[in-house]
């Protein structure tokens, strides 16, 4: 009995961490800028590749992951300045542009670095409860996902950047009339979103095979989480991750991996039918 | 030579997507002056304020703040020359608290100057009481006070105030007029305001421009501003 409850909790935590880490960057870029970033998976791939390269060069794991996040963030800021900024009020065009960036990044990586790159092993080993054994690293990822949500909350509510970024999304013209350089805010926000994608890539790099298309392993769940959550990172992404992780863990427990994914997609369809503006739209209803 | 006006506008034209609204505005506001712009609904008063702030591009003409030309400057760069803007309809950040709204206003502070929380909380004590309340849940009058405080907290040298009395109870209108007049007297704040409320115009303005069909068609001297009928006639023009 107890071991199977633990197995469920572990699966729930594992799914929750994956959804939060995969979706955070996408959610921030969508929620704070209204940009749907189809290159999200490639920022994740960038973070993973840089992390692995740095780790192989001898950097300790945390520093290597920081390098991965930083690299993705810098690439994000550059792309924002070169492309996204010019398309800010043209949502459909940004979708096409980021899709193009995504294709270029995947194919470019394939040409330059080949179809696969040697990975690094998952650190920390495993522990067992009952007859099953569990990866210590995955427990660490759960803790990191929770800390990340707390950190993002503090960033957007307790720092000057966060206050200006929220003002910029709420009434952009008024923010600029008060002296806020909204272009810089947007670049930083996109950079933070890209860095979070890179962080996800770095954190999961030890657990995956490195291929140029590895971003697609994240992108479905990232989009599902953002769609279910709606525009608000804290009132949307976090609760959506809880709900979806629960559904996924249940389905996996009963029917296996494939059904976990089917459960997620069913959950999206149901939520969107009932709450067209996502969980955060529902939580914030009538409060505009 | 007399010093340059604090704000000088010559031949300003602007509009919305090919529809001209401002058709060659000329006006000047001296440093430390309180000047009103009046005119019927839809003549382009708000459009003028938005063009001055840079939220709407000028298609022709020149805008100068003190000694610098700002006609092509982005809004945030203009704001940092010490312009506080209070739009019609207030535009508070609805899902942020009162104190977070004021924090955005701090951006206006020139190098090294500290924000003037003491001053805005003295003039609008309700904001201190409501510091942690979300701005979107305040009453209209409270939102107007917040919008003004948000512009004042960064110590601007000139404010552009668009219909501060619209839809607000008289006692709050008086508080706002008093606060603006005090700042003008104590710090020499320059004020350009749009207004339709006769009492507010007469009690605050030292000079007044009358606007019609996108142009300045008349101006009222301080003497004329003391005569209720003259002002009323100008408003109805
Ligand atoms: N965003 C916009 N797009 C198109 N036309 C606009 C826009 N805003 C205002 N207008 C038009 O421009 C003209 C001037 O409007 P403006 O808001 O400047 O007038 P106003 O003098 O401030 O009026 P009020 O006293 O009602 O505030 C009006 O004919 C209005 O319909
Ligand atoms: Mg108006």
Instruction: Check pocket membership of B98 for ligand 1, CB cut-off 6 A.
Output: no
* A288/B76 CB distance under 8 A: no
Chain A and chain B share a number of CB contacts under 8 A equal to 73
The model's confidence at residue A288, banded by pLDDT at 50, 70 and 90, is very low
Return the CATH number at A156: 1.10.3470
Tell me how far apart the alpha carbons of residues A274 and A264 are, in angstroms, rounded to a whole number: 15
pLDDT tens digits along B223-235: 888 888 888 888 7
d(CA A164, CA A156): 9
| Beta bridge pairs of residue B207 | B35
Give me the domain span that covers residue A157: 2-287
Instruction: Choose from B47, B83, B95, B156 for mutation: most chain A CBs within 10 A.
Output: B95
Residue A281 near chain B (CB below 8 Å): no
Three-state SS string over chain B comes to CCCCCCEEEEEEEEEECCEEEEEEEEEEECCCCEEEEECCCCCCHHHHHHHHHCCCCCCEEEEEECCEECCCCCHHHHHCCCEEEECCCCCCCCCCEHHHHHHHHHHHCCCCCCCCHHHHHHHCHHHHHCCCCEHHHCCHHHHHHHHHHHHHCCCCCEEEEECCCCCCCHHHHHHHHHHHHHHHHHHCCEEEEECCCHHHHHHHCCEEEEEECCEEEEEECHHHHCCHHHHHHHHHC
pLDDT one-digit tens code per residue, B89-143: 999 999 999 999 999 999 988 887 899 999 999 999 999 999 999 999 999 999 9
- A149-200 confidence digits (pLDDT tens): 999 999 999 999 999 999 999 999 999 999 999 999 999 999 999 999 999 9
The per-residue pLDDT of chain B, averaged, comes to: 91
Helices (H), chain A: 2-33, 40-56, 61-82, 91-113, 136-158, 160-170, 172-177, 182-204, 216-229, 238-255, 257-274, 278-283
What pTM did the predictor assign?
0.89
The answer to whether A22 and A28 have CB atoms below 8 angstroms apart is no
Give residue-wise pLDDT tens across range B151-173. Answer: 999 999 999 999 999 888 888 99
Q: How many angstroms separate the CA atoms of A198 and A265, rounded?
A: 25
How do B158-162 and B83-86 pair as beta strands? parallel
Q: Please check whether residue B93 touches A, CB under 8 A.
A: yes
Determine the pLDDT at residue A287: 54
Nearest to B76 among A170, A179, A288 (CB): A179
Domain count of chain A?
Answer: 1
Could you identify the atom of ligand 1 that is nearest to the CA of residue B39?
21
Q: Are strands B60-65 and B7-16 parallel, antiparallel or unpaired?
A: antiparallel
ipTM of the complex as predicted: 0.91
Tell me whether residues A180 and B91 touch, CB distance under 8 A: no
**Strand pairing category for B215-220 and B207-212:** antiparallel
The answer to whether the CB of B44 is under 6 A from ligand 1 is yes
Asked if A176 lies within 8 A of B151 by C-beta distance, the reply is no
Per-residue pLDDT for B2 more than 70? no
pLDDT at A57 over 80: yes
Ligand 1 atom 4 nearest Cα: B16
% chain A with pLDDT above 70:
98
């Amino acid at each position: 009995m107890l071991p199977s409850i633990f197995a469920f909790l572990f699966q729930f935590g594992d799914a929750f961490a994956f959804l939060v880490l995969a979706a955070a960057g996408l959610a921030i870029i969508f929620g704070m800028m209204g940009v749907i970033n189809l290159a999200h998976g490639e920022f994740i791939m960038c973070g993973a590749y840089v992390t692995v390269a740095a780790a192989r060069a001898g950097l300790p794991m945390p520093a290597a992951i920081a390098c991965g996040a930083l690299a993705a963030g810098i690439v994000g800021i550059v792309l924002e300045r070169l492309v996204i900024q010019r398309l800010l009020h043209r949502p459909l065009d940004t979708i096409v542009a980021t899709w193009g960036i995504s294709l270029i990044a995947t194919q470019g990586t394939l040409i330059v670095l080949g179809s696969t790159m040697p990975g690094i092993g998952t650190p920390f080993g495993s522990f067992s409860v009952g007859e099953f054994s569990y990866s210590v690293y995955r427990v660490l990822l759960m803790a990191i996902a929770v800390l990340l949500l707390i950190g993002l909350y503090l960033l957007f509510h307790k720092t000057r950047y966060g206050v200006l970024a929220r003002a910029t999304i709420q009434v952009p013209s008024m923010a600029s009339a008060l002296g806020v350089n909204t272009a810089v805010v947007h670049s930083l926000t996109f950079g933070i979103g890209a860095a979070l994608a890179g962080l996800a890539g770095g954190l999961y790099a030890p657990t995956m095979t490195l291929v140029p298309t590895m971003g697609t392993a994240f992108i479905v769940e990232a989009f599902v989480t953002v769609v279910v959550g709606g525009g608000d990172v804290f009132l949307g992404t976090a609760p959506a991750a809880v709900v979806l992780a629960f559904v996924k863990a249940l389905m996996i427990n009963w029917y296996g991996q494939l059904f976990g994914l089917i459960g997620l997609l069913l959950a999206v369809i149901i939520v969107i039918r009932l709450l067209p503006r996502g969980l955060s739209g529902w939580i914030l209803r009538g409060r505009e | 030579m007399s010093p340059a006006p604090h704000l000088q506008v010559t031949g300003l034209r602007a509009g919305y997507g090919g529809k001209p609204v401002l058709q060659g505005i000329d006006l000047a506001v001296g440093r430390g002056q309180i000047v009103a712009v009046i005119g019927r609904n839809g003549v382009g008063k708000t459009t003028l304020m938005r063009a001055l702030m840079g939220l709407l591009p000028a298609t022709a003409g020149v805008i100068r703040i003190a000694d610098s030309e700002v006609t092509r400057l982005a809004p945030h760069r203009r704001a940092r020359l010490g312009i506080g803007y209070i739009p019609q309809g207030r535009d508070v950040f609805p899902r942020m608290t009162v104190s977070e709204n004021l924090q955005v206003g701090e951006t206006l502070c020139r190098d090294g100057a500290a924000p003037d929380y003491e001053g805005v909380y003295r003039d609008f004590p309700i904001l201190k009481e409501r510091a942690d309340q979300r701005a979107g849940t305040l009453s209209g009058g409270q939102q107007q006070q917040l919008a003004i405080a948000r512009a004042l907290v960064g110590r601007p040298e000139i404010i552009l105030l668009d219909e501060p009395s619209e839809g607000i109870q008289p006692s709050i209108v008086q508080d706002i007029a008093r606060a603006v007049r005090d700042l003008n007297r104590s710090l020499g704040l320059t004020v350009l305001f749009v207004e339709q409320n006769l009492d507010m115009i007469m009690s605050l303005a030292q000079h007044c421009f009358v606007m019609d069909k996108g142009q300045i068609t008349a101006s009222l001297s301080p003497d004329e501003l003391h005569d209720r009928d003259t002002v009323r006639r100008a408003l109805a023009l």
